[in-house]
Structure 1
């Protein structure tokens, strides 16, 4: 069995176990049997709820190379009460229906997209690739989140920067953990398309070496897509800034995601314009 396929099966196995562990019998509509030695549902209970044999589900959670149908995947997803992002991730891992996972070689944004970013004015805007590397940005984004132009390629990876940069922690303060968990869950969801890719593995190993939080949260297999919602920033010179986040895919580069942080109030917009005026 090739390495990438083996790693995909192990990722699937670990994902299922984490989802099973978080679900109680009561939540699943099963009778409680008193105190349990381990949290969550038993494999046999998931098998029962999914309409499959205990042996078959056990093999799936052990990462064995067995045939899986879309119907069974859907049954297990319902039994484990997966949300929309988790169900999508499960389908990717179990059915391998998406592309092989090599990111497009060209991550240079178009002139038109850069023009769009520049015209956002007081709205910090940037573009990320599937690995969450920042590949395009506007002036407001640099003034608030850091000078991307001066950063190395690794420093422009938002997962690396979230977990290693003191400046990011300073910007987010008490909101850092929520942001970091959200960013990690976005990264994990994308990783489902790129399991076994050496560039992704290297990044995961590098962040794991330097971040205790990343090491603790990575095995939890949380997956998310979509914006963070309201973003509260404590800028060292502008002070408190509040943004609402908008995400969308670029039509001419669908593997890229455009993020625009819209000032949530006039005060924030005024502060960003002051920063732009003084730059």
Structure 2
């Protein structure tokens, strides 16, 4: 009697993920954006002669491809909204060829769903109106921050809240970095360990959407290099959301402050925000008024 061996069923190859309607819309928006920008750049703006037989408004596709060092067919597919992969380096070259300003460049990378390898150093969210608003909330300390905890702008009261922020190099004005590495900033925070652990957890939650972005990776590497305490908190893999919280600060100019920390978001997502510190009692209010006066005197 012959025994037939049982065949192990071979699992079927999973089908490719379906093309979402959102991805298709993004491709068509990207194609239209590229065509529009290409058609509105004169050849002279990129060092090309106009010639007498030019019928295409602006640049030709092959000219954009040549200036960006990409294939003509590939670029044509991009303008036809084909489902192709686009790297950050190629998008960077296209942005330079098409003379995109910072807002247009950010829009290009957002449509392509790719991280920007060279993000703009100037945050477009810091408008003159927002700077004026920072001044209007004084004597309450307030600052504009992004989701990476970079301090983008701040008012006079905030400049002396936790340290002499004007004396900190612009590249080091990051709340997370200062909370782990700057001694005066750290000594001003009551319940420091709880505060830093919470910030690390918030940073981890925010970084989930920016894992490939150079600026985020650079900050993380610096924190891990310069602060063993951050490494310990980071390795907990904790994640928390932003929320209003009462804080205690020991200010070297006016003493103990009890404030309510509030984040006022400037966009639908967890991006740039205005951070405000409102006094929780009358004594703190009076001390913040005194701190504001000291800051104004120092800046004059």
Q: Rg bigger for which structure?
A: 2
Whether 2:252 is the aligned partner of 1:236: answer: yes
Inter-partner Cα distance in structure 2 for 1:122 and 1:116: 12
- Check 1:252–1:185 CA distance in 2 against 1; reply closer, same or farther (3 A cut): closer
1:151 equivalenced with 2:160 (yes/no): no
- Residue from 221, 227, 234 that aligns with 1:205: 221
1:135–1:144 distance in 2 versus 1, CA, 3 Å: same
Residue 195 of structure 1 pairs with residue 198 of structure 2: no
Provide the rounded CA distance (Å) in 2 between the counterparts of 1:163 and 1:197. Answer: 22
User: Cα deviations across residues 138-191 of structure 1 (Å, max 9, x unaligned)?
Assistant: 111012123333322332011111100111221014x10111011111211111
Q: Deviation of residue 254 (structure 1)?
A: 7.5
Q: Kindly indicate whether structure 1 or structure 2 has the higher relative contact order, using CA contacts under 8 Å at least 6 residues apart.
A: 1
- Structure 1 counterpart of 2:177: 160
| Structure 1 vs Structure 2 CA RMSD | 2.7
The 3-state SS of whatever aligns with 1:255 is coil
Structure 1 residue 245 corresponds to structure 2 residue 283:
no
- Are residues 1:131 and 2:148 paired? yes
Counterparts in 2 of 1:7-156, with a 5 A limit? 100-102=114-116, 105=120, 106-108=122-124, 109-156=126-173
Task: Give me the TM-score of the superposition, normalised by structure 1.
Answer: 0.60
Q: CA deviation at 1:246?
A: 1.2
Aligned match for 2:288, one of 268, 272, 276:
272
Q: Within 2, Cα distance between the matches of 1:168 and 1:136?
A: 17
Flag structure 2 segments of 5+ consecutive residues without an equivalent. Answer: 1-15, 18-112
Structure 1 residue matching 2:265: 3-state secondary structure: strand
The match for 1:263 among 273, 279, 291 is 279
* Equivalent-residue separation in structure 2 for 1:253 and 1:124 (angstroms): 24
Matches of 1:207 and 1:116 in 2, distance apart? 32
CA separation in 2, counterparts of 1:201 and 1:114?
Answer: 29
Q: Unpaired segments of 5 or more residues in structure 1?
A: 1-65, 68-98
Give CA-to-partner distance per residue, 1:35-68, whole Å, 9 cap, x none: xxxxxxxxxxxxxxxxxxxxxxxxxxxxxxx98x
